């Protein structure tokens, strides 16, 4: 009876410990957000708003993504708040769905680029020797060619499907991630705790994931935000040039191209997707700047 009571009391204590830890984490997060500068709060608000729009696009959009609901280039009205595009599709609907498509594809591409480049950079730093030389020279060759021109060339050859777009941009952008991951990993692999792991006989995967990766996460996390912006802008540029996300899928870059004629009539409708691109880029950069300041250990002067 006593053993059961002790067991029950230990279980209840452990069950109570988990919510307490979660509450402590959320209180710390809330306190940091409260102390964040106005620019960081604005950036977080923008990012959260875009994510909400992207996730709930089918609920927020008044019409279907590719549905033709009126005549071409109809002006702003009660029926079409932002008018219609060159095919008679609702511009507000296209903007909302464009958030889901452009941001979603850019996020997946950035994650894949970090998986390739981050693993390659850490591997080169741990192994060194010919592995480091081979990977570094390959990255140098890829970085020597302008990224946009190289992406246009490859997409012209393999086609403009979404998997091809994601794969090509991820491989090209992983070169930048590789350079950063290798540089910061070089400072970690010479530490005593990494050498101790090698002497214990730990494998490369253990050393990479348990010893090196946790110590280089802050610069990688900041770089993720910057890389997302670059990938996001690159996808929009490719779509504007006709080799990115293909119609009828809504995309902000192609929306600027399709409705550019309206600019000659002093209509600002083509500028709306461009403004959406610019606002998200500014918001993400504000958050990245704040995160870099926090992770650097610098204190604010009041």
**Integer Cα distance of 239 and 250 in angstroms:** 10
Neighbours of 7 (CB within 10 A): 10
What domains are there in the chain, each with its CATH number? 60-70+79-295 (1.10.3720.10)
Kindly give the confidence (pLDDT) of every residue in the chain, 302 residues in length, as a single tens digit, with 9 standing for 90 and above: 544 555 454 445 445 544 544 555 556 566 666 677 888 889 899 999 999 999 998 899 888 888 888 888 888 888 888 888 888 888 999 999 988 888 889 999 999 999 999 999 999 998 888 888 999 999 998 888 888 888 888 888 888 888 899 999 999 999 999 999 999 999 888 888 888 888 888 888 888 888 888 888 888 888 888 889 889 889 888 888 888 888 888 888 888 888 888 888 888 888 898 899 899 989 998 888 887 777 665 455 54
What's the pLDDT at 260?
84
Rounded Cα distance, 9 and 256, in Å: 64
- Give Cα separations from 292 to 11, 81, 122, 128 (angstroms): 40, 39, 21, 29
Residue 94, token pair as written in the block: 């296209």
Report residue 247 CA to chain centroid gap.
23
pLDDT at 26: 52
pLDDT at site 219:
86
How many beta carbons lie within 10 A of that of residue 157, not counting itself?
A: 9
User: For position 300, what pLDDT does the model report?
Assistant: 52
Res 108: pLDDT = 92
Q: What is the pLDDT of residue 30?
A: 64
Per-residue tokens: 144: 């020597």
Q: Do 227 and 114 form a contact (C-beta atoms < 8 A)?
A: yes
Q: How many Cβ atoms from other residues are within 10 Å of residue 249's Cβ?
A: 19
Q: How far is 16 from 165, CA to CA, in rounded Å?
A: 48
Q: Is 228 exposed, middle or buried (0-12, 13-18, 19+ CB in 10 A)?
A: buried
Residue 31: is the preceding peptide bond cis (ω within 30°)?
Answer: no
pLDDT of residue 13: 47
């Amino acid at each position: 009876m006593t053993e059961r009571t002790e067991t029950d009391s230990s279980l209840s204590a452990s069950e109570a410990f988990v919510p307490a830890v979660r509450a402590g984490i959320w209180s710390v997060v809330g306190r940091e957000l409260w102390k964040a500068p106005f620019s960081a709060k604005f950036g977080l608000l923008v990012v959260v708003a875009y994510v909400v729009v992207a996730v709930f696009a089918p609920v927020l959009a008044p019409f279907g993504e590719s549905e033709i609901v009126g005549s071409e280039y109809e002006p702003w009205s009660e029926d079409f708040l932002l008018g219609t595009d060159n095919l008679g599709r609702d511009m507000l609907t296209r903007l909302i769905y464009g958030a889901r498509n452009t941001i979603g594809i850019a996020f997946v591409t950035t994650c894949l680029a970090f998986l390739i480049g981050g693993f390659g950079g850490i591997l080169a730093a741990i192994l060194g020797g010919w592995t480091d030389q081979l990977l570094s020279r390959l990255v140098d060759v890829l970085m020597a060619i302008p990224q946009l021109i190289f992406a246009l060339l490859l997409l012209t050859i393999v086609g403009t499907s979404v998997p091809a777009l994601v794969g090509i941009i991820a491989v090209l952008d992983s070169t930048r991630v590789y350079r950063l991951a290798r540089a910061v990993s070089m400072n970690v692999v010479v530490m005593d705790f990494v050498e101790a792991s090698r002497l214990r006989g730990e494998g490369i995967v253990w050393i990479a994931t348990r010893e090196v990766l946790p110590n280089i996460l802050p610069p990688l996390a900041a770089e993720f935000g910057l890389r997302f912006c670059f990938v996001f802008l690159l996808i929009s540029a490719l779509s504007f040039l006709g080799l990115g996300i293909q119609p009828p899928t809504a995309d902000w870059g192609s929306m600027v191209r399709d409705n550019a004629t309206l600019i000659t009539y002093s209509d600002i409708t083509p500028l709306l997707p461009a403004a959406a691109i610019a606002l998200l880029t500014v918001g993400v950069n504000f958050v990245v700047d704040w995160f870099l300041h926090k992770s650097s250990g610098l204190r604010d002067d009041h």
